[in-house]
Amino acid sequence: MERNDDPSGDSVPFTFREALDSGFSPGQLRNRHQVNVSRGIYRPSEWQFDLREAARALSVASPSAWISHSTAARLHGLVLPPWLSNSDDLHLSTPRTHPQMRRKGIIGHNVTALPGEIESTDGILLSTRVRTWLDLARVLPLHDLVCLGDQLIRIPRPEFEGRSAAFATLKSLRAMTDHHGNLQGIVRAREALDLMRVGADSPPETELRLAMADANLPEPELQLKLYASPTSPSADAGYRAQRIALQYDGAHHLDEVQRHSDRRRDKAFEAAGWTVLTFTESDLHDGFKDAVQRIKKALRQIVVDPTVASGFASGS
């Protein structure tokens, strides 16, 4: 765009101060090419909503506040339930010692944040992943909060994610809840901590485990390896003594290369005498009700082999 059309220079939301610093006058902002969306924040009239761009402008215009709640979760790339992940609401938090931020189109929060609970990413001041989890304890149902927490404590795969450490540990999350005993949602957060486990690689895997717990099934081992070897095939969950492997194959498993890998994985378990139960998105959509029945049936039919555990330990 020409200079008079777009003070931001790159067709994204911008602040009044940014416009002035770029040499524009207040009068140049009052034209059909710019829309004043909130106090001191403008956007080009043809701009298509982008969460990160909107959050950056809001953060710059609100130096004493930070992006939080579901907005922060989305910017962090955390998986939220559909009813929340599709929301373009902008959440902004301010310290409890400050007046609550009131901006048109913005959901304001007035909270107590401790050192280390806010960070700056790509020019955006926002709550950390762990603090975001705690903030969302007020609005997320228990199972969804557990799914979100499992994402934080899972051990990443460096070859795919470029990191080797989890975002948080159960110990660090418990410490944070201890520091915010009066926060709304703190009871649910503590309940979620009791249900969280390291090892779920996706929210559906957590949902399957929680459905099993609700049905009073024995707690399964997560990321169960067939053999004691780094290259061993693994199951998302399962029962070693009963030789039952549980796999959740989501949408990406429809890829032909991934399907071939899945078949090899399952054949390895079956060749070793295991029963492999595979679940898909249709099971997720029915709350894993049928899956639970299939697991119960498999457990009733399996005779426990006491030599299985020792065989795993020796890598046989």
Q: 191 and 54 in one domain?
A: yes
Nearest to 302 by CA among 243, 217, 222: 243
Which CB contacts under 8 angstroms, 24+ apart, belong to 308-312?
Answer: 308/240, 308/241, 308/243, 309/240, 309/241, 312/225, 312/227, 312/228, 312/240
Q: Do 110 and 156 meet the contact criterion of CB atoms below 8 Å apart?
A: no
Residue 250 has a pLDDT of 78
Amino acid at 260: H
Residue 278 has a pLDDT of 96
Residue 24 has a pLDDT of 66
Reported as a single tens digit per residue, the pLDDT across 136-145 is 999 999 999 9
Q: 128 and 27 in one domain?
A: no
Question: Using CA atoms, how far apart are residues 307 and 229, in angstroms rounded to an integer?
Answer: 18
- Name 130's Cβ contacts closer than 8 Å, sequence gap at least 6: 117, 152, 167, 168, 172, 173, 176
Of 31, 48, 65, the domain-final residue:
48
Residue 232 has a pLDDT of 92
Q: 109 and 214 in one domain?
A: no
Q: 205 and 180 in one domain?
A: no
Of 156, 171, 198, the domain-final residue:
198
Of 198, 213, 243, the domain-final residue:
198
Query: In whole angstroms, how far apart are CA 250 and each of 145, 203, 267?
Result: 20, 11, 19
Residue 43 has a pLDDT of 67
Tally the domains of the chain: 3
Q: Do 111 and 132 meet the contact criterion of CB atoms below 8 Å apart?
A: no
**Crossing angle of helices 289-301/203-214, nearest 10°?**
60
Print the domain residue range for 2. Answer: 1-48
Q: 204 and 194 in one domain?
A: no
Q: 218 and 261 in one domain?
A: yes
Q: 306 and 205 in one domain?
A: yes
- Using CA of residue 244, residue 277, residue 78, residue 138, what is the dihedral sign? negative
Q: 136 and 90 in one domain?
A: yes
Q: 78 and 180 in one domain?
A: yes
Q: 132 and 16 in one domain?
A: no
Q: 93 and 115 in one domain?
A: yes
Residue 279 has a pLDDT of 96
Residue 1 has a pLDDT of 30
Task: CATH number of the domain at 306, please.
Answer: 3.40.960.10
DSSP 167: S
Q: 25 and 165 in one domain?
A: no
The rounded average pLDDT for each run of 10 residues, N- to C-terminus, in the chain (316 residues) is 47 69 64 64 70 88 92 96 89 87 83 95 94 97 98 90 92 96 95 97 96 97 92 94 94 63 92 96 95 96 60 45
Residue 313 has a pLDDT of 44
